[in-house]
Structure 1
């Protein structure tokens, strides 16, 4: 990891792939990831960790399956949301968005429980950010 400031706009300009996060830096045992998203992800859950979302640009919808039933939250630029551990969720963005995520290092983008992963979703623990 670099010991220099990282401009998020520059980090996002280094790749075009959707649903394929890049690891910008690490904080203790957590990755700070950025991703470009568009269309639908996959229903999935992280059994042992919460998932933090920050929308840097655009709009992100997160569908949730909770005890009370299904609901969706809509996050606009600057909004944050935490999906509690064990909660099935499915992020999507109709017109595209740039997001930041905080997750324990090694956390899979498709969680511990997921439906079939479509070709446009990268099942990864994050990719190194290109200089």
Structure 2
């Protein structure tokens, strides 16, 4: 059993992660960041939940770049092949559920 107070989690670097669980190859991790990630495409599905802060999520849909501002409680689902990049607005805490070893 674990109790994690996500609001108190910080990292020494952008995209620092706290591993919460690995269930049959699906990982759940808490990330802290104040810097953008990089454009990437996961080899599996990804669920991205904003727990604290705001994140400008940019993604490509049929070759067109789009963006949406994610706020606390918002969920971004990236299907296989969805190219995307997260840009936090200030510091943010994000829960990510994805295949183990995914980018």
TM-score by length of 1: 0.70
Alignment of 1:1-131 (within 5 A): 4-9=1-6, 12-13=9-10, 15-46=11-42, 48-67=43-62, 69-108=64-103
Larger Rg: 1
Q: Any gaps of 5 or more consecutive residues in structure 1? A: 109-131
Deviations 1:92-129 (A, max 9, x none): 11211000000111212xxxxxxxxxxxxxxxxxxxxx
Q: Is the strand fraction higher in 1 or 2?
A: 2
TM-score by length of 2: 0.87
Distance, in Å, in 1 between the alignment partners of 2:14 and 2:35 is 9
Question: How many residues align structurally?
Answer: 103
Runs of 4+ in 1 over 6 A off after TM superposition: none
CA contact (8 A) 1:16 1:36 kept: no
User: What SS does the aligned partner of 2:9 have?
Assistant: helix
